[in-house]
Amino acid sequence: MTVPRKALGAVFGRRLPNTEGSLETAGIDGTVVIGRDGYGVPHVEAATDADAWFGAAFAQAQDRSFQLELFLRLTRGTLAELIGSQGVPMDRLMRRIGLRRAAEAQSLNQPEHLLDVCAAFARGINAGNRLGNPKVAHELKLLASRPSDWDAVDVLGIAKLVGFMLSTPWLSKLARLRICEADGIEAVGSLEPDYGADHPLTSPYGQPAGQAADRLTEELASVQSLLGVPGGSNNWVIGADHTATGFPIVASDPHLAPSVPPPWYLMQLRTPRWAGAGAGFVGAPGIVIGHNGHGAWGVTNGMADIVDLFMEEVGPDGRSVREGDEFKPCEVLQETIGVRGGRALQEEVLITRRGPVIGPALEGEVGALSMSATWLSDRPVRGFFEVLTATGFEEFRQAFAAWPSASLNVVYGDADGAVGWQYAGEVPRRERGFGFVVSDGTDPECGWKDTPVPFEDMPYSLGGDAHFVATANNEPIPDDEGPYLGMDWTMGYRAERIRRLLTSRDGWDVDSVMAMQMDTASVLWEEVRDAFASAKASSPDADHALRLLGSWDGDMAVDSPAAAVFALTVAEMSERITRRKAPNSWRWALGQGENRFLAMSGYGTRRWGHTAELIVDQPEGWFERGWPEEIGEALGAVVSRLRSEKGDDPAGWGWGYVRPLTFKHPLSSVPGLARAFDLGPLPWGGDATTISMAANHPLEPTSSPIVVANMRATMPVGQWERARFVLAGGQSGNPCSPHYDDQYELWRKGEGIPIAWTEQEVRSAAQHTLTLEPGG
């Protein structure tokens, strides 16, 4: 334990949970046994589904009490009650979007047995906070607060919160609107990072995407008329014929913000009816990445366009919106936002037939924007609630026939040799257009049809003899096949590198797959290498840059100065390109977010591919002195900056040292707390385009990466004892716990831990056992 954490424990106590002995608690029907292994991973045994999820939630509350409190308050829109005025922007947005309202409506349609699971999970969190922890979490002690009570609606709300978090395309729509407002329709068209024509699809894997249909121009023109102004993750499954085990191997490494603790929680559960092991999302029942003893699965963000924004004209009464020639009354709600240390705020929420008006909750002058989102649906949700009982791919994928939450790519492999992929999540059917940009809410024909794309029409694949199936947030199917799914895919560099490696050999095993997850080779560099080589050096610094790059192998390694020069030059060129065409809104084009909680839009993360395309094609009309000269000047500027900040010796310019990685805690901005709660800084390689993903904000290329693989899993079907999981940190959110960071070094080295599976393995692995009995 570090000195700052020892000091925290000395002042406030270690506040460790009760993990041994026996406790009586209300809310369960029978005995629940929670054994914990050497890494604090709980193994829950219960007689019923509800009791098993009660036990899992009890353990989560013991380990992640403050994180659960934050997620709950984000969903309810009550963050400001805990942290004060800093939470007001997100509370206003969340009250307007209405995750809690939507979850309440959904609870009325949820199948009874699944609603019972949600209720049991909520009871487990409450009991874990009340009985499992002798004292409140350090963060809550510092904030002089206590955990809130949960109910079943809150648990459903977490699934909606995940949908909100992963639905990045709507932020790209806002970016397009900002650019169009400030710099005109031509600027948006010039800067639109279209999916590369040669980048691979998911199905059939490796087939080029082809040129996307030219749909954007017409919709941008409608926005100009309307405004009247010129204004992540990797996963793959390898077929049995290509592994050393003779069975499929499933790998998954989701990419999210480098937070501590991570939002993932490892666990193993067993009932007489089913068993499962893997990682779940904190605050919700289900194993999102894991196995059930027959099949294994992993997920990536599907990136589907499941949110639309509509520009509304509010009527003179302030409570209606125009539709055609008349104003239609809105549903009007009055929300009171409590603010710690300040006066409560009153927020009037308008709900149109398309959805809630969210525009006033966003900074700047964007008008009244309403939102339609699939994850606001009141249709029932199944998905990960049911996959633990699946005995084959068809049964597995049918669980996602009801999944009005985050859009996901789910890959699957099982003991029968099946290798499958399901594109999961509801996708809207639009009355008109494709929702690339903000739509005209005054047009009665704009909006969504009553039902989404039928599940039978959603893409999937199954093939026992398949070499592999892999996804990396890339475009899933060709534009002219299947339903319209979206356009804001990440560029296909990671997908292409995965394809190359998986087709380069057979005999894959756990160690080689885990090593592949750490790969930092840049396909983007291969694309632009010749254009960089032909750059015209205008200074000694530019000459130095070209010499470094001339002998570079394209590995974005921690200690590579050439990697730093390359990454920073791409960032420099991205800024020059966007400033050229969008001088008033270039920050939006590079991904500036809407507020401190939505700090970056996906529009910026796709900028690298668009920049590479322009660097290679070098179209006329961009730079007066020509592309070779501009690239040369950018190279010189980057080396000059490196000299200034890191010294003259290139040995000090290693990429991982130029922008080290820090895992930040929500309270690390409070003076004196970062050293006790944060992990890092850690020199770290990779970038947004490498398999080992570490994306920087395009506006801050030397800051700590903002997206990394904060959990990894590799699962050889049928050899579950050899499966490996790892968190970027540990199971516990308590900085005084040995399990706060005991997986951190394993994560850094690309290693992992087993999760005991058989009953004998579970008994052998248990170092602490807590038994819960009905009562209390």
- How crowded is residue 229: how many other Cβ atoms within 10 Å of its Cβ? 11
Q: Which pLDDT score is estimated for 194?
A: 60
Show me where the domains of the chain are located.
3-158+723-774
**What contacts 748, CB < 8 A, 6 or more positions away?**
682
pTM over cut 0.75: yes
Half-sphere exposure of 7 (CA within 13 A, CB side): 9
Burial of 146 (0-12, 13-18, 19+ CB in 10 A): middle
**CB-CB contact of 172 with 598 (8 Å):** no
Q: Which pLDDT score is estimated for 602?
A: 64
**Residue type, position 82, single letter:** L
**CB-CB contact of 248 with 717 (8 Å):** yes
**CB-CB contact of 56 with 121 (8 Å):** yes
Burial of 184 (0-12, 13-18, 19+ CB in 10 A): buried
Cα distance between residue 86 and residue 667, in whole Å: 12
DSSP per residue, 236-288: EEE-GGGBSSSS-EEEEE-EE--BSS-SEEEEEEE-SS-EEEEEEETTS-S-S
Cα distance between residue 540 and residue 666, in whole Å: 44
User: 441, 445, 305: which is closest to 370 by C-alpha?
Assistant: 441
pLDDT along the chain (776 residues), means of 10: 89 94 98 98 98 99 97 94 88 92 98 97 98 95 96 97 84 79 82 56 42 32 34 84 96 94 98 98 97 97 92 90 94 96 94 89 61 95 94 96 94 96 96 84 91 96 83 88 88 94 97 98 97 95 97 98 98 94 87 57 73 93 93 97 96 97 92 93 96 91 93 98 98 97 98 97 97 94
**CB-CB contact of 689 with 491 (8 Å):** yes
- How crowded is residue 408: how many other Cβ atoms within 10 Å of its Cβ? 26
> CA torsion 272→273→277→281, rounded to 10°?
-120
- Partners of residue 768 on adjacent β-strands: 36
- The DSSP symbol for 661 reads E
Per DSSP, the three-state class of 522 is coil
Cα Rg, the chain, nearest whole Å: 26
How many angstroms from the chain centroid is the CA of residue 582? 28
What's the token pair of residue 765? 């692995």
What's the token pair of residue 344? 């409560």
Q: How far is CA 753 from CA 40, 243, 278, 750, in A?
A: 11, 21, 11, 11
Is the previous residue joined to 316 through a cis bond, with omega within 30 degrees of 0?
A: no
Cα distance between residue 773 and residue 757, in whole Å: 24
Parallel, antiparallel, or unpaired for β 307-312 and 439-440? parallel
Cα distance between residue 482 and residue 432, in whole Å: 17
What's the token pair of residue 181? 């407002």
**Residue type, position 70, single letter:** L
Q: How far is CA 160 from CA 167, 598, 626, 767, in A?
A: 10, 16, 48, 36
Cα distance between residue 595 and residue 366, in whole Å: 14
Cα distance between residue 255 and residue 329, in whole Å: 42
Q: How far is CA 169 from CA 21, 365, 396, 449, 577, in A?
A: 49, 20, 27, 20, 22
Q: Which residue has the tokens 């599907």?
A: 302
**CB-CB contact of 57 with 125 (8 Å):** yes
For the stretch 242-246, contacts whose Cβ atoms lie closer than 8 Å and that sit 24 or more positions apart, written own/partner, are: 242/467, 242/468, 242/502, 242/506, 242/507, 242/508, 243/506, 243/507, 243/508, 243/509, 243/716, 244/507, 244/508, 244/509, 245/509, 245/716, 245/717, 245/718, 245/719
- The DSSP symbol for 697 reads P
CATH 1.10.439.10 fits 3-158+723-774, yes or no: yes
User: 202, 742, 274: which is closest to 499 by C-alpha?
Assistant: 202
Q: Which pLDDT score is estimated for 285?
A: 97
Cα distance between residue 228 and residue 726, in whole Å: 52
Q: Which residue has the tokens 């805690």?
A: 665
Q: Which residue has the tokens 């978090």?
A: 165
DSSP per residue, 710-745: -EEEEEETT-GGG-EEEESS-S---TTSTTSSTTHH
**CB-CB contact of 750 with 253 (8 Å):** no
DSSP per residue, 315-336: -TTSSEEEETTEEEEPEEEEEE
Angle between helices 493-502 and 523-533 (to 10 degrees): 110
User: 574, 575, 573, 555: which is closest to 564 by C-alpha?
Assistant: 555
Q: Which pLDDT score is estimated for 388?
A: 97
**CB-CB contact of 265 with 731 (8 Å):** yes
CA torsion sign for 49, 52, 56, 62 is: positive
Q: Which pLDDT score is estimated for 593?
A: 62
User: 453, 469, 468, 613: which is closest to 531 by C-alpha?
Assistant: 613
End-to-end Cα, the chain, rounded Å: 36
